[in-house]
Amino acid sequence: MFQKSLDFGYQRDLKEAIGFYITYLFFTILLEGPIAGMIRTFIGDEGVVLLTTLLAIVVGGLIAGVVTSLTLSFLVLKSKNLLSNFKYVGIGLMSGILALFGGGLLGLLPVAFLTTREKKLSENT
């Protein structure tokens, strides 16, 4: 299930795509902490500390989700030679839009779908 998590050109079945989703959702959650910490540092101690901390966590989660989703979408599309296919590029961009609304939880769904697509043999076919 978690094999070949770093091989973005590999065509996964449903079980492997779920493993890919879980792996990179966990990575996104780990990435959220340092981003939220940096945001919290820039906000400072103005106002209620709990509210500024929660704001930093929410914004950090959205930033981590969008960056991770778009980066992984691009890596999968590039590895599978699908950057010339408008439909798949649209799905990749949709991952960033979904991540704006649901962080990595929603943003990684299209990426997991893209990992189930076949690799195109060459750029011209």
For residue 80, tell me if it sits in a domain: yes
Q: Is residue 3 part of a domain?
A: no
Flag whether 124 is in a domain: no
Predicted confidence (pLDDT) per residue in 59-94, tens digit: 999 999 999 999 999 999 999 999 999 999 999 999
Domain count of the fold of the chain? 1
The number of angstroms, rounded, from the C-alpha of 17 to the middle of its chain's C-alpha atoms is 13
Task: Examine residue 40 and state whether it is found in any structural domain, yes or no.
Answer: yes
- Look at residue 123 and tell me if it is in a domain: no
Domain housing 34: 14-114
pLDDT in tens, 29-55: 999 999 988 888 887 766 677 778 888
Q: pTM of the prediction? A: 0.88
Residue 23 lies in a domain: yes
Domain for residue 99, yes or no? yes
* Structural domain includes residue 87: yes
Calpha distance 4→41 (Å, rounded): 37
The model's pLDDT over 111-121, given as tens digits with 9 standing for 90+, comes to 999 999 999 88
- Spatial contact of 108 and 69, defined as CB atoms under 8 Å apart: yes
